[in-house]
């Protein structure tokens, strides 16, 4: 018999001669056989087709308005765009000459506003020395000075 390792065991395995019947557990039968269908107002296929047709009709109407009587597409004056670019260039040049710092964004690091940053710059580090003696090593002396000696007086 093959392994059913991926499926739960509803009934424990029984030894002996068991007649193999056609009975199937109710838990092994598929229960949900139909998919939910979209209801009206939930973007069914028909609604999407209607929306698409409406958009195409609107585009045709707008396209007809853009064309002239001659059938040519209307031309627009691009002088405004040139004026805008010249004005932007003048503003950029004035910013560079005037040096207005509020117009320039400064890139800040995420830890620029940390309170305790660079605290140990002025301190000189004492070289660590290793003493192979538990009574005289630096850790024990520091520990005694910090925790034990203040309470002995």
The Cα-based distances of 52 to 37, 61, 66, 89, 101 in angstroms read 21, 14, 21, 44, 51
Confidence at residue 21, expressed as pLDDT on a 0 to 100 scale: 67
Note whether residue 57 is domain-resident.
Answer: yes
Note whether residue 153 is domain-resident.
Answer: no
Confidence at residue 3, expressed as pLDDT on a 0 to 100 scale: 64
Note whether residue 13 is domain-resident.
Answer: no
Confidence at residue 67, expressed as pLDDT on a 0 to 100 scale: 59
Note whether residue 7 is domain-resident.
Answer: no
Q: How many domains does the chain have?
A: 1
C-alpha to C-alpha distance for 112 and 119, rounded to whole angstroms: 14
State CA 95 to chain mean position distance.
36
Tens of pLDDT along the chain (153 residues)?
A: 566 667 777 666 666 666 666 777 888 888 889 999 888 888 888 899 999 999 888 888 887 776 555 555 555 555 666 667 887 888 777 766 666 566 566 777 887 777 777 777 777 777 778 889 989 998 999 999 999 988 876
Note whether residue 14 is domain-resident.
Answer: no
Note whether residue 59 is domain-resident.
Answer: yes
Domain that holds residue 48: 44-72
Q: Does this model's pTM top 0.75? A: no
Note whether residue 131 is domain-resident.
Answer: no
Confidence at residue 121, expressed as pLDDT on a 0 to 100 scale: 74
Note whether residue 88 is domain-resident.
Answer: no
Indicate the DSSP class of residue 144: I
Confidence at residue 104, expressed as pLDDT on a 0 to 100 scale: 60
Work out the number of other CB atoms within 10 angstroms of the CB of residue 95.
Answer: 14
């Amino acid at each position: 018999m093959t392994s059913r390792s991926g499926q739960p065991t509803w009934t424990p395995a029984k030894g002996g001669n068991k007649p193999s019947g056609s009975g199937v557990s109710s838990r092994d039968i598929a229960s949900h056989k139909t998919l939910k269908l979209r209801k009206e107002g939930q973007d069914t296929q028909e609604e999407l087709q209607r929306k698409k047709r409406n958009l195409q009709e609107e585009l045709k109407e707008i396209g007809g308005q853009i064309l002239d009587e001659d059938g040519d597409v209307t031309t627009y004056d691009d002088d405004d765009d040139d004026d805008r670019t010249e004005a932007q260039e003048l503003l950029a040049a004035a910013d560079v000459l005037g040096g207005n710092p509020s117009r320039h964004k400064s890139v800040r690091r995420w830890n620029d506003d940390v309170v305790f940053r660079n605290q140990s710059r002025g301190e000189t580090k004492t070289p660590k020395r290793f003493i192979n003696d538990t009574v005289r090593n630096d850790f024990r002396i520091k520990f005694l000075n910090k925790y034990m000696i203040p309470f002995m007086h």
